[in-house]
Structure 1
Amino acid sequence: MMDILMYLFETYIHSDVELMVDQDELEEELLRAGFHQNEIYKALDWLEGLAALQNSDTRPVFSVGDATSTRIYTQSEMRRLDVKCRGFLLLLEQIKVLTPETREMVIDRVMGLETHDLQLDDLKWVILMVLFNVPGNENAYTQMEELLFSTEMGMLH
């Protein structure tokens, strides 16, 4: 499923190609690209959940504490997000790339993935997708992109 999400993100977000709105056409394109029907449905459902985060009427209510509070992860979240992933989320919050609310959105979308082997690179893609799709986070999205490019060059450890 992550492969499909990354394919869509790279194909439509980081290109001049206009995003197709017709779900049937999108499914056909993904089938032609070699993805399996079942995984396509899961990815499209995941994207619908991401789209719901934009709408205040359908957005889940995230309980976020004040600026001095600490996020305590549930057992299922800790199984999905290893220590490196949780540390990266904390770093992004500390440097103001993520707010407590966008952090919760990222965790929500991570938990919506049907994977038990989430890697740090996968988490970074989820963060980019959330920041790109939630209005008002354009600056944070740009910061995240810059952070990713600098880490690929070995500047951030």
Structure 2
Amino acid sequence: MLDVLIYLFENFYEQNESEFLVDRDNLLDELLEAGFAEAEILKAMTWIENLVEMRDGGVQTHLQVSSVSSMRVYTDAEQFYINTECRGFLLFLEHISVLNIETREMAIARLVELENTNLDLDDIKWVILMVLFNVPDGEEAYLQMEELVHAKEHNYLH
């Protein structure tokens, strides 16, 4: 499903979100022609609709204020789908103010809904980029995340 989401985001979603959500039948046909399975396409469309609902309805959290010493505790289900490295990356993004409490919770919910136990950092980056694209007034965080998504990692031995 993540491949479908990335394909949609790169090719359709940024152009016109409202048209994307309205024209499901044509989009389904186009994605089928691109070689994606219908079940994965339908899951991806539902995933995006749920993201938009989260944005419009807001994320309901019991945590209203974050302090420097506070820590997000992940449920067993969240830990099952989001590995330690990826949870560390979410924490890093929160510390550099790319994510706030609401966007962090949106990202965690979106990651868990993928039901993929093999997510890596690149996958996480794409999901967070999609979340930030859907957040009103989140342009700065989106741009920072976009740089992280498209950055090439250079590892040099010294």
TM-score between both structures, scaled by the size of structure 1: 0.87
1:36-83 C-alpha deviation (Å, 9 max, x unpaired): 111111111101111112213xx3412334223100111111111111
> How far off is 1:116 after superposition?
2.0
Separation of aligned partners in 1, 2:74 and 2:117: 16
Separation of aligned partners in 2, 1:77 and 1:6: 21
Partner of 2:36, secondary structure, is coil
> How far off is 1:149 after superposition?
3.3
Identity percentage over the alignment?
48
Name the counterpart of 1:24.
Answer: 25
Matched, 1:7 2:7: yes
Name the counterpart of 1:62.
Answer: 61
Partner of 2:116, secondary structure, is coil
> How far off is 1:148 after superposition?
3.1
Paired residues, what number?
151
Q: Do 2:107 and 2:131's aligned partners in 1 also have CA atoms closer than 8 Å? A: yes
Separation of aligned partners in 2, 1:133 and 1:83: 26
Separation of aligned partners in 1, 2:83 and 2:67: 23
Gaps of 5+ in 2: none
Gaps of 5+ in 1: none
Name the counterpart of 2:98.
Answer: 97
1:84-108 C-alpha deviation (Å, 9 max, x unpaired): 1011001000000000111011001
Show the 5 A alignment for 1:124-143.
124-143=125-144
TM-score between both structures, scaled by the size of structure 2: 0.87
Name the counterpart of 1:154.
Answer: 154
* One-letter amino acid of the structure 2 residue matched with residue 6 of structure 1: I
> How far off is 1:120 after superposition?
1.4
